[in-house]
């Protein structure tokens, strides 16, 4: 880990993620409440003057600040340092579902059915909350995440499951300024988004279906030799049941997944809560607490290096308290 970097009222400790628009740092306050980690997300310097990216970034903060749910990482602060905006979010030590799926695939393993159902249940619960959220005046926010994928599902070392990155979410505060530009990860888009049609919450239901299919089979659902080929497969939405790849998947669960992946939105589960409730038969008997503990144990076993890095990061926070 590198030396702490002063950044306004924060100290940047370690860069933990970088994407096409922003980077995320583990950080702590220099004064006031030092010793508490936050995830500080800031626009990449090369995009600091890009109005489109800036608007998306600010929209994400405005949306998430209105969402208070244990399955959604909360925004603690939106600020500006110099010419760059940042947001401070609650820091959650863990790994993405993408990382877990890749590690299991490399080892020739599949996630157990109960774990796939548990993660999908948690994601659906968070999304349903966002879809139904209203503003202070009682008007629906009409939030649609539009980028649900394994990379945007955070599995905490505490066993929690959280949805992250509402950067391209559609909400009432977002206008039609985007036109027909496709955004998000192509392999998890809905057919109506690919076809340039209006999208609503059922686009997220489709995406959860694609993620659940992948968790059950260990294989990405929509792939192709090119992005165009992937989009064409999504447009047609011809999907084999998970049990065709993984015979151990119950046939009744096949039906739940395939309904989420229906080509036409009207044929899908109407709400994420409906998909959530349909997954109950495959949840572990011990309840949510037992599932969280088992997930935490699995992550500790699969990611010992990453867990050790998080512990060292906490030690680093204690070591830099008071640094000016």
Q: Give the span between the Cα atoms of 142 and 46, in whole angstroms.
A: 32
Alpha-carbon distance of 130 to 142, in angstroms, equals 8
Catalytic residue, candidates 59, 147, 165, 204: 147
Burial class (CB in 10 A: 0-12, 13-18, 19+), 260: buried
Beta strands in the chain (DSSP E): 5-7, 10-18, 22-29, 37-43, 75-81, 84-90, 94-96, 153-156, 161-163
Instruction: From 194, 223, 218, select the one nearest 206 (Cα to Cα).
Output: 194
Do residues 173 and 166 lie in contact, with contact meaning Cβ atoms separated by under 8 Å?
no
Q: Is 47 helix (H, G, I), strand (E, B) or coil?
A: helix
Structure tokens at 183: 């955004």
Burial class (CB in 10 A: 0-12, 13-18, 19+), 238: exposed
Closest CA to 32 of 97, 84, 76: 76
| Nearest alpha-carbon partner for 23 in 44, 47, 52, 6 | 44
CB 122 within 8 A of CB 159: no
Task: Give the distance from CA 33 to its chain's centroid.
Answer: 28
3 labelled catalytic: no
* Catalytic residue numbers, as ranges: 147
């Amino acid at each position: 880990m590198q030396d702490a970097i002063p950044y306004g009222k924060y100290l940047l400790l370690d860069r933990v993620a970088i994407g096409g628009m922003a980077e995320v740092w583990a950080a702590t306050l220099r004064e006031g409440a030092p010793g508490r980690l936050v995830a500080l997300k800031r626009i990449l310097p090369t995009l600091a003057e890009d109005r489109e990216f800036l608007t998306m970034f600010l929209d994400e903060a405005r949306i998430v600040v209105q969402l208070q749910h244990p399955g959604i990482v909360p925004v603690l602060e939106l600020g500006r340092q110099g010419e760059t905006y940042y947001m401070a979010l609650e820091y959650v030590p863990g790994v993405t579902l993408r990382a877990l799926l890749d590690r299991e695939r490399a080892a020739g393993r599949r996630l157990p059915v109960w774990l796939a159902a548990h993660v999908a249940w948690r994601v659906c619960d968070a999304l349903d909350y966002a879809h139904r959220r209203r503003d202070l005046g009682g008007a629906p926010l009409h939030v649609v995440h539009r980028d649900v994928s394994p990379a945007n599902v955070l599995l905490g070392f505490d066993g929690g499951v959280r949805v992250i990155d509402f950067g391209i979410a559609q909400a009432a505060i977002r206008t039609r300024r985007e036109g027909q530009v496709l955004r998000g990860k192509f392999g998890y888009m809905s057919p109506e988004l690919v076809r340039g049609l209006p999208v609503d919450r059922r686009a997220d239901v489709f995406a959860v279906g694609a993620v659940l299919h992948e968790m059950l089979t260990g294989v990405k659902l929509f792939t192709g030799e090119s992005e165009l080929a992937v989009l064409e497969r999504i447009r047609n939405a011809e999907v084999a049941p998970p049990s065709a790849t993984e015979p151990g998947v119950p046939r009744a669960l096949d039906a739940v997944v395939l309904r989420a992946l229906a080509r036409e939105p009207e044929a899908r589960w109407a709400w994420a809560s409906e998909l959530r409730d349909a997954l109950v038969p495959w949840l572990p008997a011990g309840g949510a607490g037992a599932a969280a503990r088992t997930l935490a144990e699995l992550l500790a076993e699969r990611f010992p290096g990453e867990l050790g890095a998080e512990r060292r990061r906490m030690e680093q926070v204690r070591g830099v308290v008071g640094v000016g």
